[in-house]
Structures are given as C-alpha cells and as structure tokens.
Amino acid sequence: MDGLTGPRLLTLRIRNLRNLRSVDLDLREKSQRILLTGDNGAGKTTLLEAVYLLARGRSFRGRKAGSLTTDGERRTLIEGRFREVDSSSDSILVFERSGRGSLRRYNSVPLGSLPPSDSPLRVKLVGENPQILLEGEPTLRRGLLDWNVFHVEHQLGRLRADLRRVLAQRNAALRQGGARVSTWDAAFVDLSGQITGKRVAFLERWRAQFRTLADDFAFLDGCDLFFERGWPEDSDLLDILERGRSAEIQRGQTLAGAHRADIRIGRDGSPSRLSRGQAKVVVCLLQLAAERVHRMTGLAPSLWLLDDVDAELDKGTADRLWRVLGESVAQLFIARLSAESGGIADGSTMPDAMFHVEHGVLTPPAIVDLTPTRLSSV
C-alpha cells in the first residue's frame, strides 16, 4: 500500500458537527490507515461524515440523524488540509453550514456544482447498512452505477437531467389522458438509448474487475454483476411504449426506459441471498472494482470511509477483505468498536494511527508500530 499515490488528508478540523464540538486530527506523521474506535454513538461515524461532507458537500446520513450542527450552536465548520497528486504544496477544503445554507471552498474559492471527476477530493463509502443498497429500491443501485459512470462519462449528468425533464413532461401527458404523449416519445427513446450506452460501456469494465476481486471469496463463487437496462433485451423501446400505452395511461407514469434500470449481484440472472456481513464484502468489492476502472482512466485514488465493515465476518473472510483493501487503497478511514478483533490488526494491514472516540472527544492518538499487537503511544 505504501506504493500507492493519491490525495492524502493530512489534517482535519471539526467544529460543531453533531456531538463533535471541537476535534482536530493531525495525520501528517501517519496517514494511510486511520483506525477510529469507540462505542456506538461515540462519534466515529460522525468523523467519517466530516470527511464525506468535505468531499461531496452533503451527508450520507438521513434526516433521522437530526441536524448537522451541534445543539445550541449556529454554525458547523469542517476544514481539511490535503496533499494532491504531483503537488508540492497543501490544499485546503472547507465545508460550512449555517442558517443561510451550506458552502464549500477550495483554497478560498467557493465551489459551485462540480462534476464528480473535477472534485478536488473524492471519497468512497461503505456504510453500516449495505443490504439496503443491495436489496432496497432500484434507485439506490442506479445511483451507485451512475455516480461511478459520471467520473468517466462526463456527459451523463446533462443526459440524466434532460431525461428527467422529458420524463416529467411525458408523465404529465399520461395523467391528462395521453393525447400528447407521442410528442415526447422520440426524445425519451433517444435519451434512454444514450444513457444506457454509457452505462453499458462502464459496466463491462466494472464487471470484469468485480469478477477478478470476487475470485478470492468462496461465497461469491459463480456470482456476477448483472445489468437490467429498464426494458426487455432485444426489444425496441418505442415499440414497447406504444404497445403499453393503455397501461401507462391507467397508472399515469412511464413504465419502461432508462429511468427503470437496475443492477444485481447473482447467479444465472437470479439475485443472490447474502448475509449482512457478506453484503458488506460485496459493496466493498463493487466500490473497489469501480475504483480500478477510474484509475485506468487516469483519475487519482479516492479516500475510503469504512464503517464497521468486518463486524459480522469470520476471520478468514475479514483477513481477505483487509488484504485486498490494503493492496488497493491509498488512504483508509476505518470506524469500528475496538482494535482487537479482525484482520485490520494483523500484520501488513495494521493501522498507522489509531484514535479512540468517547462522547465526541478524541483521546491522544497512538502511532502503530507495524508489528502485530504492538502500540506505542505518542
């Protein structure tokens, strides 16, 4: 892993983010594998969230998590200093949330709506509920696919926006009885075809990398990544729309097209049933496979945020997962209950630095000597 180059977060300053009132991380000494330990609710996931907010400008946690800003405070501030690839100086990324909204700044310049490939810092997240992604609504899996396609097919964002606009108009016509639906058919079919072409081009490379990674995990024997484009294979979308017009009018929505695409993990086209732990492995491998495709196109590596990924894995599976992550990722932030269990504390994948989080406060870090079971306090 030492040979991997990519952006490295060197310092992280957090003010008033949920239960983290004032946190400063200095990662300049050791910055490749950062382990965050602590009880549930201590603030580990919030630390991962801080990095995510810097990179993407939004949270990965739903509304149930409550307000970003600490109770009684008016503003949340996150500042990250990092070193970009082939740069001799540090860059600073800032996220700020106040009553007036959110703002990100990159080296003091406000960031607008950037395409993913132009973001100064990219992250990949594997959260604590991966089965929601694999078994939940197709929109979640489409989001994963398209987010990764965005990085290599820059036109996808515009095409998706155009599709949403045309789809809204077509659905409105259906709800009004369908008299003007055909006005939107040609544009809808054309946009669905363009989007599907870009998805398929990426997915062919993504699938190849996933298969290679999956070979190390016995429970994935025979599994593959399948794409459902949103209408039957070897069928003409316009013909399907015309033949299904009465059903669409009855339901008031378009029933076929790129907006109904999906991806699945399975055998012989049937979805696989996975345990919670196995689902975490699959999501890790999907993200790793996408990262490999991105690297092939010249993109710098992402920072990785892993939330308790090996909690329900047997030791052999955990060891294999940490090994492949250690070989592939330039910087890892790992949140878990303790440092003792699992492959992260074994040999070559041992953390460089460890922070313990308790009630939103970090204890002084430990710099980890890369020999098993030894920690030397700073």
Over the Cα atoms of the chain, what is R_g?
22
171 among annotated binding-site residues: no
> 343 labelled as ligand-binding?
no
Dihedral of the alpha carbons of 136, 140, 145, 149, in degrees to the nearest 10? 180
| CA–centroid distance for 8 within its chain | 18
Q: Is 162 annotated as a binding residue?
A: no
| Beta strands at 270-271 and 361-362: parallel, antiparallel or unpaired | unpaired
Return phi, psi of residue 102, to 5°: -110, 150
- Is there a binding annotation on residue 266? no
Q: Annotated binding residue at 190?
A: no
CA-based angle 19:20:24, to the nearest 5? 170
Residue 30 marked ligand-binding: no
Q: What is the C-alpha to C-alpha distance for residues 369 and 367, in angstroms, rounded to an integer?
A: 7
CA distance 48 to 334: 8
Residue 2 counted as an annotated binding residue: no
- The answer to whether 3 is a known ligand-binding residue is no
Report how far residue 103's alpha carbon sits from residue 141's, in angstroms, rounded to the nearest whole number. Answer: 28
How many angstroms from the chain centroid is the CA of residue 96?
21
Q: Name the binding residues.
A: 38-45
Q: Name the binding residues for ATP.
A: 38-45
